[in-house]
Structure 1
């Protein structure tokens, strides 16, 4: 693929942009041709779609930031109503010209208010002669989605956007990206052969990362995942060469040396159960190949971010007495003493008695207490509860026609919930009544 070219931008800037987004030259070239020059009217709307981890968000943000194009970036999942969406656009537009400038909340009840305030903000920021990219001024709306446009098209008709597809990264693309950072003490061909072996093992399970939406650059997450794997396993791959038992071309000996090591790494492929230092310590421990100490057998299961906290809240509700909720989850309530709460019939551990049912409102109350950021009770949260029931991580107790609402029980083990809690840096033991 030739270097990017555009008459409005210096060649050095375009070359730097090309190095930041490898293997996406055709998509970047298409976007540059659509954008045109700063003073030209761009296409009113662009719809970019593709599977998760295909670089949509990262490429778009890198392009706008590198070329210093005025833009506003809004997550429509987070700002789920039209009022929140329009107000966030105005707030970001206020702070666009100066990072130190204080921004104030701008009430925007209707779309007419938005148009009026938008014109004022654009005029005050001297952006009248430039296209403003919003993810009757020249405005281009860029929509990023994993769903095709045909599923969004309204029945009443609309102006058709320009659609651009981002295909998945192939093994060749990932090999090219990862091979750029080879250690200087080894040849590029040797490191490329190692990356090829690594991708052959991990590509099928690591190319589709759907979580961590709080890190908006999906492709960076995927590339950093592979880079972490490559860094942690490369020393093991080089051992026969370092000991003088093989040279860089003895691929068979190199593969036989690293194969048990990679199989062992497959049990923690997402690298969220443990840190890099913990993983290195595990490699120095003697034990059966393929067995990781301290990890549950279910570490391969991936759950959305809030589903993990929902499952943690469900576990706490199942194994903690109701009367202890205030002590555990309300601030400034002092320390809890188990002797003050122990009754005669509570001589047996709650974990030995098994999980107890709890109502939905108690689950949500615990969830809001343990999550650091504010979570609105949206349909997304309730749908994740249904998904946990479908996965049999929660079970619904009683009949659906109960007037007091549904009741649930958590069905996972202590080892499993501790492994899930570690992925979100939550110390669940501190919140369990049995471990006080």
Structure 2
């Protein structure tokens, strides 16, 4: 980019081809970035709901314009030290250089500013704008109090040409605190309207069908789902798994692409059932189609079978399965240690005098209790790494766990287990774990 209008217009056109309906945000960001060697704004705050194109637009601009940058995610970098080291080491790998033999270590912001200057000099980036993109920036509020103000004023602290870009799903007002700091330039990514969603979704028309036919199908889908769901990723998923049912009369020779009334009459009951699976992504397209086929044949699949098959297809890993089993044990509040010789039988209440815990519904439990029982169950066979905490986030995202607010302590995360005992028994068998042995109700 040399600052003239044609190159900017060409860049906007190129990026808009892959990311439509975001032309205004692309133009604004390109005007803020300017030329490579020009000073830019110290910080940019881009916010919007999930699947509104924040990360895609930023990444595409940085790669298309070949700007030196580093991308970090605060979910992975859950502490300040990991965040500092991810930025410093990422500058090497993202700009055509191998990581140093000894990874850069950094403990505090003072060291980070010093090492950042040294890294920019080592990579010969003193005369170019370096972009630091921090995704899930709302998690910065949970770290040290000086991190957010320091990143917003990093250009001044490092005395260099650097721009920090914060990506978040919440508004900037929720970041403000009493310390005071430099205000970033705010860029909003609004939700896609119905016409924009249709324009984006029609780009993924399957082979063998015209764009007009697929657009008519998408119009029917949006007329039903747009009221309850405006998430682009979820709508893409819903459009993909329901298209096979829509074209069923065409494959059977009972209708043509122009018989819209017959297609809709056959598709409408299926679409109403699909409304029940909005955001329930653990039910895959294969499972959903099989359930409907067996339902039509008078063989409705049981909830246990559907849940178990769907869970097996989730990519949550071995420790994720263990974590889910642990959550069920913890929710019962009574944990029976099989291998402990110190268990006092006198403290065990008679079975007929106590209520069966798994009949009382899910109970909240704190994160520290979940981790304690987890390590007691696995007997120290799993190292305490960031992946363990990522598994909890994955379980929450697929609605197997639910995060609730802490009632008695400040900033203590609490969770609820949202699955049945039959489900957890099936899952536990996949890791050769007898969950019944760890519950008082079955002692």
Same fold (TM over 0.5): yes
Deviates more, 1:144-153 or 1:315-324: 315-324
The 2-side partners of 1:98 and 1:40 are apart by 22
Q: Alignment partner for residue 270 of structure 1, among 264, 275, 279?
A: 279
The 1-side partners of 2:175 and 2:56 are apart by 23
Deviation at 1:170, TM superposition (A): 1.6
Deviation at 1:176, TM superposition (A): 0.8
Aligned residue number for residue 302 of structure 1:
none
The 2-side partners of 1:141 and 1:411 are apart by 39
Aligned residue number for residue 363 of structure 1:
370
Contact 1:49 1:164 in 2 (8 A): yes
Deviation at 1:265, TM superposition (A): 2.6
Contact 1:319 1:432 in 2 (8 A): no
Q: Alignment partner for residue 125 of structure 1, among 123, 126, 133?
A: 123
The 1-side partners of 2:389 and 2:211 are apart by 51
Tell me whether 1:324 sits opposite 2:353 in the alignment.
no
Deviation at 1:8, TM superposition (A): 4.7
Name the Cα RMSD after superposition: 4.8
Q: Is the partner of 1:252 in helix, strand or coil?
A: helix
The 2-side partners of 1:143 and 1:409 are apart by 31
Tell me whether 1:236 sits opposite 2:236 in the alignment.
no
Tell me whether 1:281 sits opposite 2:293 in the alignment.
no
Deviation at 1:251, TM superposition (A): 2.6
Q: Is the partner of 1:185 in helix, strand or coil?
A: coil
> Residues 34-433 of structure 1 correspond to what in structure 2 (within 5 A)?
34-98=32-96, 100-102=98-100, 104-135=102-133, 136-208=159-231, 222-223=232-233, 225-270=234-279, 272-287=281-296, 293-294=302-303, 312-317=325-330, 318=332, 322-324=336-338, 353-355=356-358, 362-367=369-374, 374=386, 413-415=420-422, 427=430, 430-433=433-436
Deviates more, 1:366-375 or 1:170-179: 366-375
Q: Is the partner of 2:45 in helix, strand or coil?
A: strand
The 2-side partners of 1:130 and 1:264 are apart by 55
Deviates more, 1:317-326 or 1:144-153: 317-326
Deviates more, 1:122-131 or 1:195-204: 195-204
Q: Is the partner of 2:187 in helix, strand or coil?
A: strand
Closer, same or farther: CA 246–231 of 1 in aligned 2, 3 Å: same
Gaps of at least 5 residues in structure 1 are 209-221, 300-304, 327-344
Closer, same or farther: CA 89–260 of 1 in aligned 2, 3 Å: same
Closer, same or farther: CA 189–75 of 1 in aligned 2, 3 Å: same
Closer, same or farther: CA 207–44 of 1 in aligned 2, 3 Å: same
Q: Over residues 217-274 of structure 1, what are the superposed CA-to-partner deviations in whole Å (9 max), with x where a residue is unaligned?
A: xxxxx43x43333233223212333445444343322111011222333333335333
Contact 2:12 2:23 in 1 (8 A): no
Q: Is the partner of 2:120 in helix, strand or coil?
A: helix
Deviation at 1:414, TM superposition (A): 2.0
Q: Is the partner of 1:285 in helix, strand or coil?
A: helix
Contact 1:175 1:195 in 2 (8 A): yes
The 2-side partners of 1:244 and 1:59 are apart by 43
Deviation at 1:410, TM superposition (A): 6.3
Contact 1:45 1:142 in 2 (8 A): yes
Aligned length: 375
Q: Over residues 135-178 of structure 1, what are the superposed CA-to-partner deviations in whole Å (9 max), with x where a residue is unaligned?
A: 22200111112232233234454332211111012222111111
Aligned residue number for residue 338 of structure 1:
none
Deviation at 1:95, TM superposition (A): 2.7
Q: Alignment partner for residue 16 of structure 1, among 14, 35, 53?
A: 14
Q: Over residues 306-358 of structure 1, what are the superposed CA-to-partner deviations in whole Å (9 max), with x where a residue is unaligned?
A: 999876423124398622379xxxxxxxxxxxxxxxxxx9xx9xxx9544999
The 2-side partners of 1:88 and 1:316 are apart by 36
The 2-side partners of 1:359 and 1:226 are apart by 33
Contact 1:83 1:109 in 2 (8 A): yes
The 2-side partners of 1:372 and 1:82 are apart by 18
Closer, same or farther: CA 134–359 of 1 in aligned 2, 3 Å: closer
Q: Over residues 121-146 of structure 1, what are the superposed CA-to-partner deviations in whole Å (9 max), with x where a residue is unaligned?
A: 11111212211111222001111122
TM-score, length of structure 1 as denominator length: 0.69
Q: Is the partner of 2:212 in helix, strand or coil?
A: helix
Deviates more, 1:242-251 or 1:129-138: 242-251
Aligned residue number for residue 143 of structure 2:
none
The 1-side partners of 2:298 and 2:202 are apart by 28
